Amino acid sequence: MKLICIGRNYAAHIDELNNERPKEPVVFIKPDSAILPKEQDFYIPDFTDNVHYEVEVLVKIKKVGKHIAKEFAPNYYDEIGLGIDFTARDVQQELKSKGLPWEKAKGFDGAAVVGKWMHKNKYENIDKLGFSLLKNGEIVQNGHTSLMLWKIDELIAYVSTYFMLKKGDILFTGTPAGVGRVVANDYLEGRIGEEAFFALNVR
């Protein structure tokens, strides 16, 4: 099982980090060891003092697929979720400045929060989902899938050109604007609409 992550999929987030708008999806991989175990607190690693939260809508792949056409992409997933792509921003910036890969900043243990899953049929249109992240009870990220540069089915088609998708793979679809630093004793809660999908403490 692999975690396939999309960067720079919301224009406002691209702007807040002063990144260049990509002409095609930015793709990176997190190992499955990055998944934070259920009900476990998130511990800030010793090698960074600037971890950022990035809330994202998740998609769970349900069967093997390769070179999937966009119109057939809905056949490859049933479940939608919400999670966090934790990023050691200081480490990432140093790596980027040297033209090096981001894995140390994105794939460390506990860097991927995966909340509960819901059947996509619960939602009228998954391309029109509102979602949010609350930190200590205040909304810090407020996103909407309609603002994705590349929608879920487009992402599945694109990613499957390069990687064979397998049952259980998880697609992180990108984060909206509002990312920020976490510190010890923060409490994070992620929601789609008004429904909570995960909650965790930062240590």
Q: Tokens 């991989």 sit at which residue?
A: 29
How many structural domains are present in the chain? 1
Query: How confident is the model at residue 20, as a pLDDT?
Result: 78
CATH number for the domain harbouring residue 132: 3.90.850.10
Structural domain including 170 reads 3-201
Query: How confident is the model at residue 6, as a pLDDT?
Result: 97
State the Cα angle at 16 between 14 and 19, rounded to 5°.
Answer: 40
Query: How confident is the model at residue 148, as a pLDDT?
Result: 96
pTM for the whole thing?
0.95
Query: How confident is the model at residue 14, as a pLDDT?
Result: 64
Q: Show the low-confidence residues of the chain (pLDDT under 70).
A: 14-15, 17
DSSP, res 40 = P
Question: In sequence order, what are the residues at sequence separation of 6 or more whose Cβ sits closer than 8 angstroms to the Cβ of residue 23?
Answer: none
Query: How confident is the model at residue 19, as a pLDDT?
Result: 75
- Cα–Cα separations (whole angstroms), residue 175 to 131, 147, 164, 166, 196: 10, 10, 24, 23, 17
Q: Are 55 and 84 in contact (CB under 8 A)?
A: yes
State the Cα angle at 12 between 9 and 83, rounded to 5°.
Answer: 55
